[in-house]
Structure 1
Amino acid sequence: MTTQEKMLLGLLIFVPLALLNFIVKMPPMVSFILSGLAIVPLAAWIANSTEAIAEVIGPALGGLLNATFGNVTEMIIAIVALRQGLAEVVKASLSGAIIANLLLGLGLAIVVGGIRFPEQQFSAPVARINASALTLSVIVLMTPTAIQAAAPSVPLHLIDHFSYASAILLLIFYGLMLLFSMKTHRHLYLMDETIAGQEPSPTVNLKVPLAILLVGTILLVFVSDILVDSLQDSISEIGLTQLFTGVFLIPVFSSVVEFITCIKFALNNRMEGAVAVAIGSSLQIILFVAPVLVLVGWFLGQPEMNLSFNLFELLAVVAAVAITNSISNDGRTNWLEGVLLMITYLVLAIAFFIHP
């Protein structure tokens, strides 16, 4: 058993502790911390079981499964929050997850890898494709805000309709990206598979990972419910804003496993894997999770769950995408570029902390 597996196994103790909140009402801050810590191992076990299933069912269906469950943690937390009418927190957590993956997760990986290796390489063509996809996503996110700024008289329901149409278009593009990466241009992504060491393992018993996936997802729903329930009182108690909590606190709980994975790849001189995890996760959030949540919000009667983001968080996402694209375009990284990403993250964190 690896050190990471031992750590995740130990963190499972926080799951029953968090669930005790259904029996014994705990202080909001205690509930928030326990549920946040409980999310970490659950997210890891869900990710591991998804990968195990993907190895058995083959690259095509496996890739689709990974694409669907890759950000299930963010999806579940967001849906639970949406049901409680916290659309702004949901949007903040989505933008926060993007910022955390691109700046903190990738930045840490590049710094750690760069200390051991003077320069690390990854696929430049894939990086350029991802950069273009991120740019498209930013354009879509900027458009509602631009419309409202240029024409304040535009009715809000038209902005909502724009969001629904854009969400569908983003989902279509996401599907086409899956087709591109798994079928028509799979050769461009073969290095990712080699780096990750994902050899087919038909001997794996599917019952175990399927059971873990099912149980982990169910537990994650309950734990997320506790997290969201305690959110309002907790942030009021310590004087934090919903915006800061959504952008910087919640993503840390939901993305810490991805950070660890990125660092492990980098330490083994597998920067292509680190880039695939960090940027791939961000693309999943923008192209899949966010559009699905917009449509779920429509279904739940939550029109506030649209693609019109807070201007400040939108600027932060644009900055994160811009600096990540500038660093990743050449297919090479060094430790200084990782420092650039992390400094950007810290600057944004301070800015959001003082933002009212």
Structure 2
Amino acid sequence: MNRIFLILTVVGVPLSVVGSLMHWPSTLLFLIYCLTIIALASFMGRATESLAIVAGPRIGGLLNATFGNAVELIISIFALKEGLVAIVLASLTGSVLGNLLLVAGLSFFVGGIKYKVQKFNVFDARHNSGLLMFAVLVAFVIPEVFSMNMSEGERFSLSAGIGIIMILLYVAALYFKLVTHRGVYQSKNEQKAHEEHEEPEWSGKMAVLVLLLSTIAVAYISENLVHTFDTVGEQFGWSELFIGVIIVAIVGNAAEHASAIIMAYKNKMDIAVEIAIGSTLQIAMFVAPILVLISVLFEERMSLVFTLPELISMASAVLLAIVISNDGDSNWFEGATLLAAYLIMAIGFFLL
């Protein structure tokens, strides 16, 4: 399988560059870009696994989420520059739904088919639950409620203030998990992994280099992929909202999606959960606020004011994910439940 992904990468990256320069048909480019991103995602998954063995599942999962979300951040900045604020907000919604329902759901389902019950760090799950409640149910709902009778300038000021607080709390959360309380809430899986002394495929430096190069390639291809959405959307009947919430979010996070599922299949659930939940927190508490602050540089500023369907969908996803993950174990049926919720919301956004 690794050889197939290597061939797809070696062939796909040059074809992606040549195709974009020579303006090949959008449908053909769409297919080439998607296959190449999937192939590159496999390298990111292998690099994450090596980093997790060298530095632990928290740091491995965090680095995977960070490099994966860097792609979405780049795509969103390009979209903000073009004044596509609605699509950026929709893609942020899609990332939250995609990570909590699609990624976690597929991870639980795929891993659950191979293993009856899979365990992960219950302390991390409960810690993340509080942050998820804050990030979505407080920081995203509050601007919607308070901005009803505000001017556009006041909405942006409120969003910027909330964004700064979210970034500070996110940095504090990382400091808590990786510095002051590192190893305090260690799961049995982590203890067992330390005892087994598994050999990584790549060294720490090599794994980071592979992650960095893969991210740069994915960012370039993803940015070109966005330009094919209009044509492909017209051919398949996809609305702008559906493209933002479902398509852009899936493509922008394809790398970390694949990594989490691979980790779950190998029964490394601490890493899989860290990627899915950690990526959601990073999107909500860091990427979204950063985009609000960056939007000052462009003509149209972005406020953290989502539509009602987006807010209700995100709140539902958070509550369902918390209920399912708070016990520290998973099975295929819980994965199927999360996937069913994602499909229901996808149908809703498609028809909206």
Measure how far apart 1:252 and its partner are: 2.4
Q: CA–CA distance in 2 between the matches of 1:249 and 1:195?
A: 38
Letter matched to residue 142 of structure 1: V
1:351 aligns with 2:344: no
> Conserved in 2, the CA contact under 8 Å of 1:196 and 1:273?
no
Specify the alignment match of 1:309 in structure 2: 306
2:172 equivalent in structure 1:
176
Unaligned runs of 5+ in 1: none
TM-score of the superposed pair, with normalisation by structure 2 = 0.85
- Residue identity in the other structure for 1:159: R
Q: CA deviation at 1:46?
A: 5.2
Supply the distance in 1 between the matched residues of 2:109 and 2:41 (Cα, whole angstroms): 25
Match for 1:123 among 114, 121, 124? 121
CA distance, structure 2, for counterparts of residue 108 and residue 224 of structure 1: 22
User: How high is the TM-score relative to the length of structure 1?
Assistant: 0.85
Counterpart for residue 259 of structure 2: 261
Q: 279-288 or 128-137, which moves further after superposition?
A: 279-288
Structure 1 residues 123, 23: closer, same or farther in 2, change over 3 A? closer
Deviation at 1:8, TM superposition (A): 2.8
Aligned residues: 347
Amino acid at match of 2:95: A
State the alpha-carbon separation in 2 of the partners of residues 126 and 321 from structure 1: 15
Counterpart residue number, 2:338: 341
User: Judging changes above 3 Å, is the alpha-carbon distance between structure 1 residues 229 and 257 closer, same or farther for their aligned structure 2 residues?
Assistant: closer
Q: CA deviation at 1:118?
A: 2.9
Between the aligned partners of 1:301 and 1:98, the Cα distance in structure 2 is 27
The residue type paired with residue 235 of structure 1 is G
Counterpart residue type for residue 308 of structure 2: L
Aligned residue in 2 for 1:17: 15
* CA deviations over 1:233-272 (Å, ceiling 9, x no partner): 3313322111111111122223333333333333333333
Give, in whole Å, the separation in 2 of the partners of 1:76 and 1:46.
18
Cα separation, 2, equivalents of 1:282 and 1:259 = 12
The within-5 A match list for 1:152-231 is: 153-188=149-184, 190-191=186-187, 204=203, 206=205, 212-213=210-211, 215-231=213-229
> Contact between 1:102 and 1:282, CA under 8 Å: does it hold in 2?
yes
- Percent sequence identity over matched residues? 37
- Please state how far the C-alpha of 1:194 moved relative to its aligned partner: 5.3
Matched, 1:280 2:281: no
- After the TM superposition, which of the residue ranges 314-323 and 221-230 deviates more from structure 2? 221-230
Please state whether the residue corresponding to 1:71 is helix, strand or coil. Answer: helix
Q: What's the counterpart of residue 141 of structure 1?
A: 140
Distance 1:88 1:118 in 2: 42
Query: 2:248 matched to 1:250?
Result: yes
Equivalent of residue 238 in structure 1, options 236, 241, 250: 236
Q: Which runs of 5+ in 2 are unaligned?
A: none
- Aligned-partner Cα distance in 2 for 1:88–1:263: 30
User: 2: CA distance between counterparts of 1:24 and 1:87?
Assistant: 29
Question: Alpha carbons of 1:63 and 1:175: their partners in 2 closer, same or farther (altered >3 Å)?
Answer: farther
Paired with 2:45 and 2:338, the residues of 1 have a C-alpha distance of 25
Structure-1 separation of matches of 2:179 and 2:315: 30
- Which residue of structure 1 lines up, in the alignment, with residue 327 of structure 2? 330
Distance 1:181 1:349, change over 3 A: same
Q: Could you tell me which amino acid in structure 1 is paired with residue 160 of structure 2?
A: Y
Shift in Å, 1:140: 0.7
RMSD: 3.1
Deviations 1:13-57 (A, max 9, x none): 222222123431122333333333333334554565577678879
Question: Equivalents in 2 of 1:214, 1:270: separation in Å?
Answer: 23
- CA–CA separation in structure 2 for the residues paired with 1:244 and 1:293: 21
